[in-house]
Amino acid sequence: MVDTFDTNKKGLSSPGDIQFPIVASPSVMDPRPRAIYCAIAGNLTIEDSAGTAITYTMIAGEVLTFRATKITALGGGGAFVGWL
């Protein structure tokens, strides 16, 4: 398939082209997502590069545009996808 945009430089404001399921882990995420999509409503606890952890209650279809370093907890039946 031809990608007519393959010569464009990718940045944080360009659309993602790789997706992966988000799982809770005490390890630093590799790769770090540029955004997290909520497929099924639930709670998501993320950690930033300063080590601060905050829990977000997310609704289905919501996008959290944050480059989390860790996802330390998932709850409430939520299902999340990372975008690169």
Does the pLDDT of residue 58 top 80, yes or no?
yes
Residue 1 pLDDT grade (very low, low, confident, very high; cuts 50, 70, 90): confident
pTM of the model: 0.84
Residue spans of the domains in the chain: they are 19-83
Residue type, 82: G
CA–CA distance, 58 with 77 (Å, rounded to integer)? 11
Mean pLDDT over all residues of the chain?
Answer: 91
Strands 79-83, 35-40: pairing kind: antiparallel
CA–CA distance, 63 with 10 (Å, rounded to integer)? 19
Residue 7 pLDDT grade (very low, low, confident, very high; cuts 50, 70, 90): confident
What length does the chain have? 84
The answer to whether the beta carbons of residues 69 and 48 sit under 8 Å apart is: yes
The answer to whether the beta carbons of residues 78 and 38 sit under 8 Å apart is: yes
